[in-house]
Structure 1
Amino acid sequence: MTVPVWVEESVVIAIHRRQLAEHGGIDGIRDKGLLESALFRPKNKFNYDNPNIFDLAAAYGYGIVKNHPFVDGNKRTSYVVMRTFLKLNGYDIQASEMEKYETWMYLASSQINEVQLADWIERKSVKI
């Protein structure tokens, strides 16, 4: 696998702010270290595992949801960052709004894990 295009921290913060502007919520980073950790998760996976692009996308989604680095809007931000990563690397998600909502609620409540999220992302992704 070639080195993917990563989502930079400044882009993640901009995504977070846009989600709050569009859907409401309290702005702010709760813990910058947790944000950095979440964003390093896919890079670490790339360097030490043998992931595919969907595993890396799931690492973004899982890392942000589970680390909860923002005061509000973590699930929304997590989904958009994951999708942005996929788009930067030639894929997009095709799923209903309900499927996306349910999947992220299951992720946040630990009803699915990172591997299951990667499987869902792979099943719902299309090459663009």
Structure 2
Amino acid sequence: MSTPKRIVRFLTTAQVTRFYETNIMQASPSQLPMLESAVASPQNHYRYGQNDIFQLAGTLAERIILNHPYQDGNKRTALLAADMFLKINGLQLQEKSVEKDDANEVLKQAQVAVADIQWSAENLAECYRAVARPLAEATAETDQY
């Protein structure tokens, strides 16, 4: 007997663009097709059988970082997108993205490792798995997604 596939919620390109404009700077992606490709990547992996939520988050972040859709802030955008993706699916990486704590430092270094081609989406997924905590309750932020 097979287990039913979990329902996974995905982000849209417009939502990731809004994260960028709200949290990083008021600018549109310089490479919109690259952002669209990055956002579609975890959905494609899911359709082909990948149902590990951390692997999907790692794929999303890796593609945003490596596709480089913005002039600046791609690693920060990737982390915001991965965190929100996990939040809308019941988990969280960061309570507050601006706090200087061990978890945020680990996440920052992980994003840099991907940008430096030292880590893959799989490594990022394991990092996210180690840091993530269940989201206690939906917030106003997650409700809008």
Q: TM-score, normalised by structure 2?
A: 0.79
Equivalenced residue count is: 124
Bigger radius of gyration: 2
Identity of counterpart residues, as a percentage?
A: 26
Cα RMSD over matched residues? 1.5
Q: Which SS does the other structure have where 1:96 is aligned? A: helix
Query: What is the aligned partner in structure 2 of residue 19 from structure 1?
Result: 23
CA distance in 2, matches of 1:127, 1:28: 32
Range moving further from structure 2, 58-67 or 86-95: 86-95
1:101 aligns with 2:108: yes
What is the one-letter code of the residue matched to 1:123?
A
Matches within 5 A, 1:72-111: 72-93=72-93, 96-111=103-118
Query: What is the aligned partner in structure 2 of residue 127 from structure 1?
Result: 134
Is the 1:28–1:71 Cα contact (8 Å) retained in structure 2?
A: no
Residue of structure 2 aligned with 1:2, choices 1, 6, 9: 6
Q: Which segments of 5 or more consecutive residues in structure 1 lack a partner in the other structure?
A: none
Is the 2:32–2:69 Cα contact (8 Å) retained in structure 1?
A: yes
Q: Which SS does the other structure have where 1:66 is aligned? A: helix
Q: TM-score, normalised by structure 1?
A: 0.89
Structure possessing the higher relative contact order (Cα contacts under 8 Å, 6 or more residues apart): 1
CA offset digits 1:12-65 (Å, max 9, x no partner): 1110112224xxxx7231211111110110000000133311111111111100
CA offset digits 1:61-106 (Å, max 9, x no partner): 1110010111211111100000000000000126522212111111
Is the 2:13–2:39 Cα contact (8 Å) retained in structure 1?
A: yes
What is the one-letter code of the residue matched to 1:101?
K
Q: Which segments of 5 or more consecutive residues in structure 2 lack a partner in the other structure?
A: 95-101, 136-145
Judging by fraction of residues, say which structure has more helix.
1
Query: What is the aligned partner in structure 1 of residue 38 from structure 2?
Result: 38
Runs of 4+ in structure 1 displaced over 4 angstroms?
none
